[in-house]
Homo-oligomer: A and B are copies of this chain.
Amino acid sequence: MPANASYPEAVDRLIASLRELPGIGLRSAERLAFHLLTADPNEPATLAQALIDLRQTVDHCSVCMHLTDRGKDPCAICSDPKRDRSTVLVVEQPRDLIALESTGMYAGLYHVLMGRLSPLDGIGPGELTIAHLIDRLDQPATDERPAITEVVLGLNPTLEGDGTALYLAEQLHNRQLTVSRLASGLPSGSELEFANRAALAAALHGRQRVGPS
């Protein structure tokens, strides 16, 4: 007997839909469904409207592949005349871009790969926006669009991020480009004794000279 043998059909259907979401199991889906049943009736209606609008009003920027409002292409960053058009920072996901952008420390452009190479999950170069990045780098410079001279690889310091960075570095080889990668090491404000081995190894490997040279 299924655990939810006697829920009304619409409740079962909502629970099934919620379970499709990542990280939501049966118990969470039931809890969310009951919350939505008993909450202010506007709450499920607002969420439903947001879901409907999502695919209808959100698009990808044709330049950097970041999310943008439909009809606003290129996106706000790509069309901002104050940004440095000679540098492109490559990230895996839109939220990586948002995180970097929130530092206020980067004034160049971005490129969103929409994932990372993951052969075990069947994600190869063709599933990412790598070809599009290379097209972008190979476009001849114009008056409005100077040549791109630096590519910063902003991939996560994980096994798959490292693999993707390596692959991209190979693909970008033999071009008039500086290719760099975001520094990896001890997180600022952390204590050495609590760092994991990978962070310590990265910190040792990337050690930088200090003091009078």
Contacts and interface: CB of A to CB of B under 8 A. Distances in A.
Interface of A: 1, 3-11, 13-14, 16-18, 20-23, 28, 30-39, 41, 43-58, 66-69, 75-77, 93-95, 97-99, 101-102, 104, 114
Given A6-B101, A58-B8, A51 B36 contact: yes
Contacts of A94: 7, 34
Main secondary structure of the interface of A (DSSP, over half): helix
A11 B47 contact: no
Contact of A102 (B1, B11, B31, B69): B1
Q: Which 3 A-B pairs have the closest CB atoms?
A: A48-B51, A14-B50, A48-B48
Stoichiometry, copies per complex:
2
- Residue from the set A41, A52, A93 with the largest chain B CB neighbour count within 10 Å: A52
A10 B48 contact: no
A53 B13 contact: yes
B21 A76 contact: no
B52 A8 contact: no
A66 B8 CA distance: 10
B43 A20 contact: yes
Contacts of A11: 54, 58, 67
A35 B76 CA distance: 23
